[in-house]
């Protein structure tokens, strides 16, 4: 294996489409008829083919957003966790037949240089903020590496920038603009519907069972929780002075006594196990007593799935602001979102696997 890599590094023009020299615009100069130079997500200037016909996507988010861009047909190798179909990652679930037989080129942050060279992509698409990682991989493989930021939340600047960069890279600027316009329309719709709701009239809300570095029970929550942030919800987890996902003392939730509770399906088994041993704790919560506990379909699986996160947002909004979202049929809205981002509606598949927008009863 080591000898093979050494050989490919010495004679990479025979193993990849571009030599390390050609992949470095500082060496090769300006655009030619067959190549062009683009600036990637870490401000690196990278010389790439004028038309990109094949890619591999490395690190979480790169393949997901490539699928949003309808560029999955370019993929010639995948990371190992994509070899198992997962309902929790919509892009993987709906494109699994296309990815199932592709060679493995990495493992969630570990890049298999020899395997990448063997599949000979035009470009490596790397979800990373680390220019050094990209430079090292480009030097090792002799293949141009273009970084994109990816996103682990909803519609942040990184999500928009990833779409823009991929539009330029894949020659799919129209698709990038289509998705950008769609996301803007969602943001505008949510803001218009919620802008007139005074803070004092908003119910307090808590989300439990949030996944981060694995499944968590009722104590797993998140400050700045994407679906709540987009609709200006009064997320009690924001009041604890902790950023991002974290475990909270359940007694604090009891002291807050939120008006409405949402539970992430990823943590529901752990929550029900705890409920079975300590039902008295949960039954003190007003939201439990009055049947105001609702589902969130887990959107964070190998980072955030924007499609599911946006569906979660509309469901949360319909619960928190029923008057403002009275005209929204959540199944129809979820279908619209999935079809726009993934090219198909897989909500019925989610339901068949036990994931749907509904009220939840502890211990069910």
210: Cα within 13 Å, side-chain hemisphere: 27
User: If one looks up domain 196-352 in CATH, what number appears?
Assistant: 3.40.50.1980
Residue 113 has pLDDT above 70, yes or no: yes
3-state secondary structure of 4: helix
Tell me, what's the pLDDT at 31? Answer: 55
Q: Does 26 have pLDDT greater than 80?
A: no
Per-residue pLDDT tens digits for 136-186: 999 999 999 999 999 988 899 999 999 999 999 999 999 999 999 999 999
pLDDT band at residue 28, thresholds of 50, 70 and 90?
A: very low
Backbone angles phi, psi at 10, to 5 degrees: -80, -30
The whole-number average pLDDT for the span 121-132 is 97
Which pLDDT value is given to residue 7? 41
Domain 2-170, what fold? Rossmann fold (3.40.50)
Average pLDDT of span 81-96: 96
* Mean pLDDT of all residues in 130-140: 97
What pLDDT score was predicted for residue 75? 98
* pLDDT greater than 50 at residue 14: no
In this structure, are residues 197 and 323 in contact, taking their beta carbons and an 8 Å threshold? no
Residue 12 has pLDDT above 90, yes or no: no
- The enclosing H or E element of 329 equals none
Residues 6+ apart with CB under 8 A from 346: 87, 90, 93, 94, 338
Residue 9 pLDDT greater than 50, yes or no: no
* Helix (DSSP H) and strand (DSSP E) numbers for the chain: 16, 14
Q: For residue 148, what are the β-bridge partners?
A: 127
Is residue 19 scored above 60 in pLDDT?
no
Residue 265 has pLDDT above 60, yes or no: yes
pLDDT digits (tens, 9 = 90+) for 30-70: 556 799 999 999 999 999 999 999 999 999 999 999 999 99
Whole-number average pLDDT of the chain: 91
Task: Report the pLDDT value the prediction gives residue 186, as an integer from 0 to 100.
Answer: 98
What's the average model confidence in pLDDT over 281-287?
Answer: 97
Q: Where are the domains of the chain?
A: 2-170, 196-352
Question: Is the Cα dihedral 250, 253, 255, 261 positive or negative?
Answer: negative
């Amino acid at each position: 294996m080591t000898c093979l890599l050494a050989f490919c590094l010495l004679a990479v023009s025979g193993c990849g489409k571009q030599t390390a020299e050609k992949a470095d615009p500082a060496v090769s100069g300006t655009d030619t008829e067959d190549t062009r130079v683009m600036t990637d997500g870490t401000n690196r200037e990278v010389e790439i083919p004028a038309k990109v016909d094949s890619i591999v996507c490395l690190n979480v988010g790169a393949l997901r957003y490539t699928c949003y861009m309808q560029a999955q047909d370019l993929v010639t190798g995948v990371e190992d966790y994509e070899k198992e179909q997962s309902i929790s990652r919509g892009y993987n679930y709906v494109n699994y037949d296309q990815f199932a037989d592709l060679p493995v080129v990495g493992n969630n942050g570990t890049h298999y240089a020899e395997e990448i060279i063997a599949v000979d992509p035009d470009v490596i698409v790397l979800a990373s903020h680390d220019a050094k990682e990209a430079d090292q991989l480009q030097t090792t493989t002799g293949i141009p590496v273009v970084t994109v930021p990816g996103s682990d939340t909803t519609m942040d600047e990184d999500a928009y920038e990833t779409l823009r960069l991929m539009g330029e890279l894949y020659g799919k600027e129209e698709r990038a603009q289509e998705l950008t316009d769609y996301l803007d329309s969602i943001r505008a719709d949510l803001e218009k519907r919620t802008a007139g709701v005074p803070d004092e009239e908003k119910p307090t809300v808590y989300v439990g069972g949030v996944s981060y570095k694995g499944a968590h029970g009722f104590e797993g929550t998140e400050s700045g929780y994407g679906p709540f942030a987009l609709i200006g919800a009064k997320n009690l987890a924001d009041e604890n002075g902790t950023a991002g996902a974290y475990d909270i003392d359940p007694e604090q939730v009891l002291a807050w006594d939120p008006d409405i509770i949402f539970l992430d399906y990823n943590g529901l088994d752990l929550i029900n196990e705890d409920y079975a041993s300590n039902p008295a704790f949960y039954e003190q919560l007003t939201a439990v007593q009055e049947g105001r506990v609702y589902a969130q379909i887990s959107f964070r699986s190998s980072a955030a799935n924007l499609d599911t996160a946006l569906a979660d947002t509309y469901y949360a909004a319909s619960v928190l602001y029923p008057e403002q979202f009275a005209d929204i049929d959540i199944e129809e809205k979820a279908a619209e979102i999935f079809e726009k981002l993934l090219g198909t509606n897989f909500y019925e598949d989610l339901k068949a696997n036990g994931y749907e927008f509904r009220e939840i009863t502890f211990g069910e």
